[in-house]
Amino acid sequence: MTISADHTAPHSTSTEAAENALTEAVKKFGITVEDYMLPARHQIQMVDPDGRLIPESEQGTQPGHEYPVPGDDELLAAYERLVVGRRVNDQNSALVRQGRMAVYPSSHGQEACQVAAALCLSDADWMFPTYRDAVAVMTRGVDPVQVMTIFRGDWHGGYDPLQCKVGIQCTPLTTQLLHAVGVAHAAKLRGEDTVVLAMCGDGATSEGDFHEALNFAAVFHLPVIFFVQNNKYAISVPLAHQSVAPSLAHKAVGYGMAGERVDGNDVVALLAVLDRAVKLAREGSGPLLVEANTYRMQAHTNADDDTRYRESAEVAEWRAKDPVTRMRTYLTDRGLLDDDGEVRIREKAEAVATQLRDGLSEDVAVDPQELFRHVFSAPTPQLKEQSAMLADELARDAAASSSDQEAAK
Amino acid sequence: MSPTITTSSEANGNVSAATARAAASAAASAEAAGPQPVTMAKALNTALADAMHADSSVLVFGEDVGMLGGVFRITDGLTATFGEQRCFDTPLAESGIVGMAVGMAINGMRPVIEMQFDAFAYPAFEQIVSHVAKMHNRTKGAVKLPMVIRIPYGGGIGGVEHHCDSSESYYAHTAGLKVYTPATVADGYRMLREAIDSDDPVVFMEPKKMYWTKDSVDLGELRRLHTEGTTAGRTSEGRAAVARPGTDATLIAYGPSVPTALAAAEAAALEGRSLEVIDVRTIVPFDDDTVCASVRKTGRAVVIAEAHGFASVSSEIVARVQERCFHYLAAPIRRVTGFDVPYPAPKLEKYYLPGVDRILDAVDDLQWEN
Ligand SMILES: Cc1ncc(C[n+]2csc(CCOP(=O)(O)OP(=O)(O)O)c2C)c(N)n1
Ligand SMILES: [Mg+2]
């Protein structure tokens, strides 16, 4: 859809067209719009924690919420990314312990969400991740060392968002959801079929921008998928203190969009639900909210002590639902993965870990003049003055230390 | 065939300049030739329409800006002319408006958004400070945000609470934002066009009590100058204007305080004192050269602003001038600002706002006896 600059748009044509697209989409499922918007009565789960494919009748589905199992190639590719993701998380945590990185909010335990969020998108689509979504960004294809620059401490971001079609990992909670809405809106105005996936955590759903973003996306019928990783905690605060809604996915219906909840440690179910969400969004049926039921296995960051607010028994319970081992069992049992395959995948993971170790152990020289270079497209006279002042200060320091060295000789 | 919506040709885009900025404006033909009495509101409205004609990536949105044309009518007729996809109402959510504009600017558009009133921009503060101001720096210039946040600001209209704040200091204090504020009708047109063309985000503060101010202005000529390339090579950014030349002391003002400063200079002239009035025009970037040249010449200065004086743009100006002109000063620099109280109720605002008498008192205090 393109529109002409001088064209007087009749009121609400675009709105009607979008509503029709939604109605059409729902018709295919043979249910009412309201039933389509409400999540299924249970979370969608396809492979249980023991790695067994769940019979279709027990997958949590009901009319309009049935999802086909993704193809074997897609699942194998996803497994490889899971193994790499786990290795990345553990390598990064080690680098923090070694003092190579200031901080790392690990997604250990949430790798299925990370992987599915990236794999469901096409190259021209966009992703807007949070601080915890480094693995999702790498799975999207962004260079791992560039991704970790934000935590290495030499700049606030290491990759080019326009080139990667990934927003800079965002810290102010849910503010990035509105950027996702804007990117989708601009694309829609130009008639492009870009889909945007916007990520946030369970605690973040209490923020005002969460509400504003979902409402804007719904009102403007934009192809945005809001992907909430419900890992049960916002630092120390459990979900019960954030919301008493039946589920976070239920929030969708209040905005007039569809919501679904899915087992966030089951990459098969995640891919099935997200693939359909992307397809529907691309076809013009508007935004969707997907809640992934998962768990943050480690502390919020290395600076946090999770023993102060949760029981180790709870953590152990979730360890048994691990997304990586579950998938390994499933693929092995189906004969899609053997020992050779496993070795090959582990080698790939090791290569990424080596890349991270090498990249982050390097002492990158920082240029103090960079402070002034990027504030505006061209520095103001005031910034030029301050830049000259710092240059002079550094020159005098250098001169003083070289004359000290002379004197010592 | 009119141009379709395309990616902004200068920022974050790879589409060539398909939307020729030089495109003749349809509005131009309807206008009477030569200087005419024009309101600030009309100048701003014309600037928006001309920018939308020139570049189809320019979008206007906010609260009541569509059918109604904005509560101050600054966006009047834009939806009718350009369609509701280029000028539209959003849900009532200021953070949403700014945040969505950030995303649109990332993806090739030039959004010009309206905050309905100064105090109603506060819900958007996080988006403005954490993203609008920082995106360019955070991405080392890879992501530009060519967006304009228009904010009607200031008092003097008998407005009720939350409708009269002077909020410019919050934005000026934030590294990464440009802050423009026009004080003449011609600048209303010129500076808004330049703000929309800028690849940096601009907070465009519109003195709301001046919306109905009329000057004799040739909009066609301003449009021609803009189209031919930025006002004969002199953009407004970082260039204060000498609004009235004088020799004895300098009054430094911006936005709604400029007419007050001019009235004070007129009154002082009757008493035999020649005051120079400087219109700051762009608070960020600030034109130290013009301001300091004037103060070095006169040796005396008074800074005038409606906002509270404490920790404000006016304190910044005093500090800058003192640092640069100390040996030229015959007296300490004085300030005439709003009191450090919440903006008062309509019947009290005349006591709060800087007026001619208070300015003249400050001028009298500039140690003339030596
Ligand atoms: C606006 C804002 N408030 C507070 C914080 C500090 N903070 C960082 S992460 C976090 C918890 C977020 O929890 P959740 O959304 O569940 O995501 P998770 O960390 O569990 O992935 C908080 C409070 C922040 N980053 N931004
Ligand atoms: Mg959480």
What's the pLDDT at B17? 34
What does the alpha-carbon distance between residue B70 and residue A131 come to, in Å, rounded to a whole number?
Answer: 38
A204 near A251, Cβ under 8 Å?
no
What's the pLDDT at B230? 55
- The domains of chain B, with CATH numbers, are 15-233 (3.40.50.970), 241-364 (3.40.50.920)
The span from the first CA to the last CA of chain A, in angstroms, equals 75
Q: Hunting for tokens 């170790």 — which residue is that?
A: A357
Distance of CA A127 to the CA centre of its chain: 7
What does the alpha-carbon distance between residue A56 and residue A68 come to, in Å, rounded to a whole number?
Answer: 9
User: Would you call B163 a catalytic residue per the annotation?
Assistant: yes
Say if residue A390 is exposed, middle or buried (CB neighbours under 10 Å; 0-12, 13-18, 19+). middle
Residue of A nearest to B108 (CA): A186
Please enumerate in sequence order all residues whose Cβ is within 8 A of that of A230, keeping only pairs 6 or more positions apart, or say none: A201, A202, A239, A248, A264, A291, A292, A293, A294
pLDDT at residue A1 is higher than 50: no
What does the alpha-carbon distance between residue A270 and residue B359 come to, in Å, rounded to a whole number?
Answer: 68
For the ranges A152-161, A183-192, B16-25, the one whose mean pLDDT is highest? A183-192
How far is B333 from chain A, CA to nearest CA, in Å?
21
What's the pLDDT at A62? 83
Please enumerate in sequence order all residues whose Cβ is within 8 A of that of A312, keeping only pairs 6 or more positions apart, or say none: none
What's the pLDDT at A74? 97
What's the pLDDT at A405? 85
Q: What is the token pair recorded at A271?
A: 């891919």
Which residues face B301 on adjacent strands?
A: B250
How far is B266 from chain A, CA to nearest CA, in Å?
33
What's the pLDDT at A61? 76
Query: Taking CA A61 as the corner, what is the angle to CA A25 and CA A139, rounded to the nearest 5 degrees?
Result: 75
What does the alpha-carbon distance between residue A187 and residue B13 come to, in Å, rounded to a whole number?
Answer: 12
Q: Which of B100, B124, B123 is nearest to B112 (CA)?
A: B100
pLDDT at residue A6 is higher than 50: no
The span from the first CA to the last CA of chain B, in angstroms, equals 71
Residue A130 DSSP code: B
Does B21 or A174 have the greater pLDDT score? A174
What's the pLDDT at A406? 83
Q: Mean pLDDT check: name the lowest of A10-14, A227-231, A304-308.
A: A10-14
Cβ–ligand 1 distance for A204 under 6 Å, the answer: yes
Q: Which of A150, A189, A196, A367 to mutate to test the interface with B (most CBs of B within 10 A)?
A: A189
Q: Whose CA is nearest to atom 19 of ligand 1?
A: A234
Residue A77 DSSP code: H
pLDDT at residue B110 is higher than 60: yes
pLDDT at residue A166 is higher than 60: yes
What does the alpha-carbon distance between residue B85 and residue B58 come to, in Å, rounded to a whole number?
Answer: 11
pLDDT at residue A113 is higher than 60: yes
What's the pLDDT at B21? 36
CA distance to A143, A327, B267, per residue, from B183 (Å): 49, 66, 20
What's the pLDDT at B10? 54
Catalytic residue among B163, B226, B308, B327: B163
Q: Note the pLDDT tens digit of each residue in B60-88.
A: 999 999 999 999 999 999 999 999 999 99
Query: Taking CA A350 as the corner, what is the angle to CA A344 and CA A354, rounded to the nearest 5 degrees?
Result: 145
Q: Where are the domains of chain A?
A: 9-361, 370-408
What's the pLDDT at A5? 37
What's the pLDDT at B11? 63
Q: Hunting for tokens 């990370």 — which residue is that?
A: A114
pLDDT at residue A316 is higher than 90: yes
CA distance to A64, A80, A136, A347, A361, per residue, from A353 (Å): 42, 14, 16, 10, 12
Q: What is the token pair recorded at A262?
A: 């899915």
pLDDT at residue B15 is higher than 50: no
Q: Note the pLDDT tens digit of each residue in B235-278.
A: 789 999 999 999 999 999 999 999 999 999 999 999 999 999 99
pLDDT at residue B234 is higher than 90: no
Cα(B94) to centroid(ligand 1), Å: 22
Please enumerate in sequence order all residues whose Cβ is within 8 A of that of A360, keeping only pairs 6 or more positions apart, or say none: A95, A100, A101, A145, A148, A152
What's the pLDDT at B317? 98
- Nearest atom in ligand 1 to A231's CA: 20
Q: Note the pLDDT tens digit of each residue in A362-393.
A: 888 899 999 999 999 999 999 999 999 999 99
Cβ–ligand 1 distance for A232 under 6 Å, the answer: no
Q: Which of A1, A155, A183 to mutate to test the interface with B (most CBs of B within 10 A)?
A: A183
- Nearest atom in ligand 1 to A175's CA: 1
Cα(A237) to centroid(ligand 2), Å: 8
Topology classification of domain A9-361? Rossmann fold (3.40.50)
Q: Which of B18, B17, B87 is nearest to B49 (CA)?
A: B87
What's the pLDDT at B8? 62
Amino acid of residue A68: P
Cβ–ligand 1 distance for A202 under 6 Å, the answer: yes
B288-298 vs B313-325: helix axis angle to the nearest 10? 60
As for the ipTM of the complex, it is 0.93
Task: Report residue B57's pLDDT band, with 50, 70 and 90 as the boundaries.
Answer: very high
Average pLDDT, chain A: 93
Average pLDDT, chain B: 92
What does the alpha-carbon distance between residue B152 and residue B114 come to, in Å, rounded to a whole number?
Answer: 8
pLDDT at residue A104 is higher than 60: yes
Cβ–ligand 1 distance for A109 under 6 Å, the answer: no
Task: Report residue A63's pLDDT band, with 50, 70 and 90 as the boundaries.
Answer: confident
